[in-house]
Amino acid sequence: MKSKTSVTLDRVLSRMGLASRTSAGEMIHAGRLKVNGRTVRDPEAWVEPDRDVIQLDGRRLRPARRVYLLFYKPKGVITSHGDPGGRKTVYDCLARTGRGVNVPEAGANRAGMPRKPAEMKSWVSPVGRLDKDTSGLLLLTNDTAFADFVTSPEAGVPKTYLVKASGLVSDELIQQLRLGVRMKRGDWASPESVRRVEDRGKYTWLEVELTEGTNREVRRMIEAVGFKVLKLVRTGIGPLTLEGLEVGSWRELTRPELAALRQSRVRPRRGSPIAV
C-alpha cells in the first residue's frame, strides 16, 4: 500500500521546479535518475521524497529556487518549449535577456534542464497559454502549485483582456455578453464583466474579464454575437498588469505582488446565461 506521501518520480522533478513532467520522463528513461542508489527508468515509479535519496546525474535532488516571471508576450510568438516549424517561442524571448533563469536554447533539451548537475538553475513553464495571435501578460514559473492556483476555475483569479471587435458592438450585445453566451461548440462563456472602452472609427474596443478560460474563449464569445476579434491583448491577471514592461520583456514578481495575487477572490456572477 502506497504512503500518503508517495508520488511518482516524474512528479518529484516537476514539484521541485526542476523540469516539466514530460522532460522529467525523458531524463528518467535515459537512466539519469537513481533512487536509493538504484537506477530507475520508470517515470511512474512511486517514491517518498522525504525518505528516499533521489539523485540526478549523481547529485542529490534539492528543490530549485522558486521563480515567478511576468512576461509581455508579443503577437506571433507561441507559448511552447519548441516548434517543429521553427516558429518563435516565448523561450526565445526569455533567452535574449535571461538573468539566472534556465531556458531552452538551440541544442538543449526541451525543459531547459542542463546536462551537467553543476549547471542546474531553474526550469520555468507558462501558467496557462496565450495563442499565437494574442499578446499580453503571461506568467511563467517552476512552482506547479502556484500555476494550478492561478489557472483553477475554483480559485477565480480574474484575467483581463482588451479586445478590438470587427465592428461597432451595440449596448444590447454587450449586455448579452455580460450575462453569458452559448458558443459554437455548445459550451458557455460566462465572463465576470464586459465593458465598452471606446468606439474608435468603425470598431469597438471592449474590456473582458474572465475567471475561467477555455481554449480561445474570448475570441469564440465575440464570434457568438456576430463579430471577429481583430486584436486581443491580456492586460492583467488579478492585480498584475503590464505597466512598465515593453513588448517582449519580462521581470520577476515581487513578494507583495505574489501575496496580492494569492488573495484574489471569486466574485458573484451576474444573472444567468442566455443563448444568442
Q: Which residues are catalytic?
A: 131
Burial of 129 (0-12, 13-18, 19+ CB in 10 A): middle
- Distance of alpha carbon 217 from alpha carbon 55, whole angstroms: 42
Q: What does DSSP assign to residue 210? A: E
Q: Report residue 200 as a C-alpha cell.
A: 474608435
Q: How many CB atoms lie within 10 A of CB 238?
A: 20
142 Cβ contact list (under 8 Å, min separation 6): 17, 18, 64, 66, 67, 122, 123, 124, 125
Q: Whose CA is closest to 47, among 100, 112, 96, 2? A: 2
User: What are the residues facing 135 on neighbouring strands?
Assistant: 233
